[in-house]
C-alpha cells in the first residue's frame, strides 16, 4: 500500500504543479526529499495555497495515510475503529472511513444539502 500511496502522491503533486512556477519549485523540493518523510512542511505550503481544492484535499489524505502507515494504524476507520476492508483500501488507498461510516456520511451530507433538510 505504501508504494501505491507514494505513486498517488507523485501524481497529485504533478497535477498541482501544472498551476504555476512557484508551485513547480515547491513540488521539486518535495520530490528532492524523501516522498514519504521530511516533506510535510512543503506539503503544508502546497495545501495552504488556493489551488485545486480537490487535489489539495487528496494530497492531505495521502499524507495522512502515509503517517498512519508509519504509526502502525493504517486501515483503521477513524469513526468506528474497525478495520477498513482491503478491497476498499486497494481502490482508495487513502480512505479514512470504512464503507458503512462513509455511506452514513454521504447520506447525512445529502440530507443537509437538500432543500428543507
Domain of 108 in residue numbering reads as 2-113
Q: What is the pLDDT of residues 83-92, one digit of tens each?
A: 999 999 999 9
Q: Are 46 and 27 in contact (CB under 8 A)?
A: yes
Would you place residue 10 in the very low, low, confident or very high pLDDT band (cuts 50, 70, 90)?
Answer: confident
pLDDT tens sequence across 54-81: 888 888 899 999 999 999 999 999 999 9
18: cell is 501544472
What is the DSSP track for 63-99? HHHHHHHHHT-TTB-TTT-PBPPHHHHHH-TT--S-H
User: Which pLDDT belongs to residue 33?
Assistant: 66
Q: What is the pTM of this model?
A: 0.67
Number of structural domains (the chain) is: 1
- Domain with 74 in it: what CATH number? 1.20.120.910
Amino acid at each position: 500500500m505504501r508504494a501505491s500511496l507514494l505513486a498517488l502522491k507523485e501524481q497529485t503533486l504533478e497535477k498541482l504543479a501544472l498551476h504555476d512556477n512557484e508551485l513547480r519549485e515547491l513540488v521539486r523540493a518535495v520530490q528532492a526529499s524523501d516522498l514519504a518523510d521530511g516533506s510535510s512542511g512543503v506539503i503544508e505550503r502546497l495545501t495552504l495555497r488556493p489551488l485545486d481544492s480537490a487535489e489539495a484535499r487528496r494530497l492531505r489524505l495521502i499524507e495522512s495515510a502515509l503517517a498512519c502507515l508509519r504509526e502502525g494504524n493504517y486501515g483503521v476507520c477513524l469513526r468506528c475503529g474497525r478495520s477498513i476492508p482491503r478491497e476498499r483500501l486497494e481502490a482508495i488507498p487513502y480512505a479514512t472511513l470504512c464503507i458503512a461510516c462513509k455511506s452514513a456520511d454521504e447520506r447525512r451530507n445529502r440530507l443537509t444539502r437538500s432543500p428543507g433538510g
